[in-house]
Amino acid sequence: MKKLLSLFAVTLVLASCGSSKSKDATTKTKAPADPTKYAETITAEDLKTALYIYAGDDFEGRETGKEGERMAIEFIKSHYIEDGIPAAKSDGNYFQDVPLVVMATPDITLNVNGKSFTNIDDYVSVSSAKDGTLNTKDIIFAGFGIEDENYSNYEGLDVKGKVVIIRSGEPKDSEGNFVISGTDKSSKWSNMRQAFAAKQEVAKSKGAKALLFYYPEVYAMAANRFGRSTGRMNLADGAEEMIYMLINTDLAKAFVSDIETNEKSMSIKSDVAITYKNNSEKVDSKNVAAIIRGSEKPNEYIILSAHLDHEGIKDGKVYNGADDDGSGTVAVLEIAEAFAKAKREGNGPKRSIVFLNVTGEEKGLLGSKHYTDNDPIFPLADTVADLNIDMIGRTDPKREKKNRNYVYLIGSDKLSKELHDISEAMNTKYMNIDLDYTFNDENDPNRYYYRSDHYNFAKNNIPVIFYFNGTHDDYHQPGDTPDKIEYDLLENRTRLVFYTAWELANRDARITVDKTAE
């Protein structure tokens, strides 16, 4: 599904490129303004003033969902309001709610005919369910739990409100071919990644109250993974009505003694009692999104992103996160101010520029993932590029070349050669920073390409550039404070992002995607 979707997105991108090109040939567009006077409004002084507040102790390290982060979110919003930059959402709200949970292993009890079984050892919940209790004699064994065009385990069965037990795999015929494909090729019903969701969907659509899946091949791995996820933050997945658990061999055989060889659906005479208590804790957080609408192609979007959260307070010490990612945050705000000034003077961008400050980056790129996977404010197919800034205020002490005026670029050539060429050309024309591609390497063990918010755009075939100064001794330490920022470098790098965004927004043709994300 994902692959298909992204191919579809490429087709749309290519199609819209073609049409805008032919349109541009006939439409007279205004001569582009000189961006230099706007870039020069981005100054070390302004960046410093904003960062001393943003990474000050008052904001308590901006941990996702905490009071300090709420203050940071308000600070960002007030900047956009001051600069007269409207909210990205059509309802005028600068905030995009990002529902999160801190995961915890649920408390579950399970009895079969008076014998009690043990959470994690005998069964493990694999998708979050609502609190509830279940006492029933209505138990159905539904074989492989398959419902396909030419094969169904559910034919003639009513499983509504009942406990359904299924096993892994799919049927073969007497010649050893798979029944569903008619060949020696297995189907999604026994593919590890797909079978989980496919068998869940069928049982859910038929109104089962609980689905117990005997899948001995993966039980140990799943018990480890789902049983010990406590404390990790994740996007809220919405607790389901149906309890969905994997069951281990003892429990499976308590229901169907020959479950390893039995494929026939049947009802089972047993007494089952289940209690389920969901221990995940809800956390509310927000992305902040503002927009300067394009004058000629308002429905094509350039996103400038930076994460607003950091690590919070640990052992009484504030993790200020001045570089990570206070630097990127104030850079985005200053760039927004420069574009707003250009717009006021009649030189607004031709395409729309979206300023996106995302939460939950330190918890696993959650705010950007919510934006791309759950709630894109603007269609991903209309999103031209994401320029993501995460740590641009310091220098890397391990860097071999000792010139200070550098920045690491990651990802610029991965999906669009044109984006890379534009980035290089803008730098040559205006900034002359040493663009360092050391970490722009698939085989780099640091895997930085996957480690900040741009990745959620790149995985959707949206070209990205990740701007980064590398790590240093204060990385993810309380010592990442605003006094250690090299503000002249922060200014240079912020201006580079501004010029690149300016060009992407104002050039005649939308940049093309020439490679596909894996």
Angle between helices 44-54 and 67-82 (to 10 degrees): 150
Residue 408 beta carbon to Zn ion: minimum distance, rounded to whole angstroms = 15
Sole window of 98-106, 231-239, 318-326, 438-446 interacting with Zn ion (rule: CB under 5 A): 318-326
Binding segment for Zn ion (CB under 5 A), chosen from 89-97, 282-290, 321-329, 398-406, is 321-329
**Interaction between residue 324 and Zn ion (CB under 5 A):** yes
Point out which span in 190-198, 317-325, 371-379, 452-460 binds Zn ion (CB under 5 A).
317-325
Q: Which is nearer to Zn ion, 324 or 491 (CB)?
A: 324
Q: How far is the CB of 324 from Zn ion (least distance, A)?
A: 4
For Zn ion, the closer CB: 170 or 324: 324
Sign of the CA dihedral with 510 first, then 511, 516, and 518 last: negative
Which residues make Cβ contacts (< 8 Å) with residue 208, sequence separation at least 6? Answer: 159, 160, 161, 162, 163, 164, 242
- Give the integer Cα–Cα distance in Å for 236 and 468: 30
How many residues bind Zn ion (CB under 5 A)? The answer is 1
Map tokens 């300067």 to a residue.
292
* 3-state SS class at 491: helix
Stretch that binds Zn ion, among 51-59, 320-328, 430-438, 497-505 (CB under 5 A): 320-328
Complex with Zn ion: residue 323 or 503, whichever CB lies closer: 323
63 lies in the site for Zn ion, by CB under 5 A: no
Structure tokens at 444: 């780099």
Pick 324 or 503: Cβ nearer Zn ion: 324
Beta-carbon count within 10 A of 325 CB: 33
Q: Least distance to Zn ion from the beta carbon of 307, Å?
A: 8
What are the tokens at 459?
Answer: 């995985």
In the complex, minimum distance from the CB of residue 101 to Zn ion, in angstroms, rounded to a whole number: 21
| Least distance to Zn ion, CB of residue 332, Å | 16
Distance of closest approach, residue 362 Cβ to Zn ion, in angstroms: 5
Judged by CB, which is closer to Zn ion: 61, or 349? 61
Q: Say how far apart CA 441 and CA 450 lie, in whole Å.
A: 11
Closest approach of Cβ 179 to Zn ion, in Å? 50
Closest contact distance (angstroms) between CB of 12 and Zn ion is 33
Where does 349-495 show beta strands of DSSP type E?
Answer: 351-358, 383-389, 406-410, 434-436, 464-468
Closer CB to Zn ion, 352 or 452, in the complex: 452
Q: Are strands 139-141 and 163-167 parallel, antiparallel or unpaired?
A: parallel
- Beta pairing, strands 383-389 & 317-319: unpaired
Q: Which residue has the tokens 């930059």?
A: 85
When the beta carbons of 324 and 418 are compared against Zn ion, the nearer one is: 324
Q: Any idea which residue has 């850079």 for tokens?
A: 331
Among the residue ranges 133-141, 146-154, 319-327, 373-381, the one whose residues contact Zn ion (CB under 5 A): 319-327
Smaller CB separation from Zn ion, 324 or 382 = 324
User: Which among 188-196, 256-264, 297-305, 322-330 is the span making contact with Zn ion, rule CB under 5 A?
Assistant: 322-330
Q: Which stretch binds Zn ion (CB under 5 A): 109-117, 288-296, 323-331, 364-372?
A: 323-331
Output the residue with the shortest Cβ distance to Zn ion. 324
CB of 392 to Zn ion, least distance (A): 13
The residue (of 147 and 324) whose beta carbon lies closer to Zn ion is 324
The nearest distance, CB 469 to Zn ion, in angstroms, is 12
Q: Look at strands 272-277 and 107-112 and give their pairing.
A: antiparallel
Tell me, what DSSP letter sits at residue 372?
A: I
Task: Identify which of 492, 423, 505 has the alpha carbon closest to the alpha carbon of residue 39.
Answer: 492
- Cis? peptide before 480, omega within 30° of 0: no
Give every strand in the sheet of 210-214, ordered side by side: 123-127, 243-247, 210-214, 163-167, 139-141, 266-268
Residue 286 φ/ψ region, left for φ over 0, alpha for ψ in the -120 to 50 degree band, beta for the rest: beta
Question: What whole-number distance in Å separates Cα of residue 205 and Cα of residue 199?
Answer: 10
Nearer to Zn ion, 170 or 362 (CB): 362
Print the binding letters for residues 181-220 with Zn ion: x by CB under 5 A, - otherwise. ----------------------------------------
Closest distance to Zn ion from the beta carbon of 476 (Å): 6
Residue ranges that bind Zn ion, judged by CB under 5 A: 324
